[in-house]
Structure 1
Amino acid sequence: MSQVRIHNFSISLDGFATGEGQAADAPFGHAGERLHEWMFATRFWHEMVGGPGGSAGADNAFAERYGPGIGAEIMGAGKFGPPGWQDDPGYQGAWGPNPPFHTPVFVLTHRPRPSMRMEGGTTFHFLDATPGEALEQARKAADGQDVRIGGGPTVVRDFVTAGLVDCMHVVQVPIVLGRGVRLWDGLESLEESYDIEAVSTPSGVTHLTFTAKNR
């Protein structure tokens, strides 16, 4: 069976994956872009946005695992757009006409709308579903490839709690946010279900990889 994976999911030292005060001009709230500066410096990111340069070190090696083998993504309403996007029937997501996913993407929302086909192979489907129900649909769309859980932190936490995640890559960034949405709440004793490895890099981040036991 295909695997369920999480990649490049950045958190602060105190466990916040997004800051407080999310808005259209501040998708990560008061955290700004600080959680993702490590990734912006990589060759992976430069290639994804169409520019030259970027580092080819350990951060890049972790970052570039994001894409290969992925056939579908599941994300939460908060990743698709800022608070209130459901009130705009013409809203098409935060990435413009050609989103970077290039696969079917299933957006979990209590206010579903018709699917949207975008440029580059991305089609957004909107579901009011449990993690298990959403994963069933995503696996069908992935056609034997893996399914990526894209975030935000509440969606990641729900899928981990449901025991549906096979591999998870979390990047601990050396900043303290103090407020926002935390990843780890309610996930105590996670080490009993996952083998955990940690790799620190010169950028100051620590890459934490979680691999499900007995899968």
Structure 2
Amino acid sequence: MSKVVARIGISLDGYITGPDSGAEHPLGIGGERIHNWVYGLRAFREMLGQKGGTEGQDNDVVAEWVARSGAVVMGHGMFISGEVPWGDEPPFHMPVYVVTHHPRETVVKEGGTSFHFVTEGPEHALALAREAAGDKGVSLAGGANLIQQFIRAGLLDELLLHVVPVLTTAGTGCTAGTTPTPPSWNARSPPTPGPNSPRRVGCWSSRGTTGRRRAWRAYGSGTR
């Protein structure tokens, strides 16, 4: 079965966007600072149809994520915020399943991206994405509310946080309210690839004998 993975940038104070995120400010006010590290990477530029870019450990992380993903699930808010900035050739290049309460015909874009609007809930969207992904994984793109729903429902297998050394002081949190008790964390930090690289905290889950109860652990990489 396809593994479900969420990989997102997050500030030191726990936000994945700046304040007042929405159609006018998709990443929130000042939220682009959380993602600046990725914009110049070769793998990310290739997603946008651009040439050049830097290589190294950060680039390898993004390239590996692209290679292992066969379909995407995202929330309605993320789609609305990104529809215009993504333009005619969005950076996904694979089927995207949008969890929404608003029925809409499939939108086919250039470069292999197609947006499918699913009104039957996250589990149904995931089932469709898994079928489309085949042997590859499913990328959970966000936003925060949908990630929280996946964690609560026991649907998320892996969460990789790119912890960026900035403070937003407000914005959209990622995992608040997802578990009744704090998860148990274990961390290790390989050498940092560069002074501007984020520290990475990867979380993975394991099913136990109690059904969908999950045990969460973590590893870290990047700067201390």
Pick the TM interval, shorter chain. Answer: 0.7 to 0.9
Q: How many residues align?
A: 204
8 Å CA contact retained: 2:58, 2:197: no
Number of the residue aligned with 2:199: 206
Matches within 5 A, 1:1-215: 1-7=1-7, 9-82=8-81, 93-187=84-178, 188-191=181-184, 197-199=188-190, 200-202=192-194, 203-214=196-207
Within 2, Cα distance between the matches of 1:52 and 1:113? 34
Q: Could you list the per-position Cα deviations for residues 136-193 of structure 1 after superposition, in whole angstroms to 9, with x for gaps in the alignment?
A: 121122233211101111111211221111222110111111111101212453337x
Kindly state the Cα deviation for residue 42 of structure 1 after the two structures are TM-superposed: 2.0
Within 1, Cα distance between the matches of 2:47 and 2:204? 26
Q: Could you list the per-position Cα deviations for residues 3-56 of structure 1 after superposition, in whole angstroms to 9, with x for gaps in the alignment?
A: 11122x001111111122224342111134101011113222233334444332
Identity %: 35
Structure with larger RCO (C-alpha < 8 A, sep 6+): 1
SS in 1 for 2:16: strand
8 Å CA contact retained: 1:149, 1:156: yes
Q: TM-score scaled by structure 1?
A: 0.84
Within 2, Cα distance between the matches of 1:102 and 1:53? 19
Within 1, Cα distance between the matches of 2:109 and 2:46? 21
Counterpart code for 1:66: W
SS in 2 for 1:168: strand
Within 1, Cα distance between the matches of 2:118 and 2:127? 12
Counterpart code for 2:13: D
Within 2, Cα distance between the matches of 1:115 and 1:197? 43
Number of the residue aligned with 1:89: none
Kindly state the Cα deviation for residue 196 of structure 1 after the two structures are TM-superposed: 5.6
Structure-2 change in CA distance of 1:29 and 1:197 (3 Å)? same
Which deviates more from structure 2 when the two are superposed, residues 38-47 or residues 156-165? 38-47
Within 2, Cα distance between the matches of 1:177 and 1:117? 35
Within 2, Cα distance between the matches of 1:102 and 1:47? 11
Q: TM-score scaled by structure 2?
A: 0.80
> Could you list the runs of 5+ residues in structure 1 that have no partner in the other structure?
86-91
Structure-2 change in CA distance of 1:46 and 1:120 (3 Å)? closer
SS in 2 for 1:191: coil
Counterpart code for 1:68: A
SS in 2 for 1:33: helix
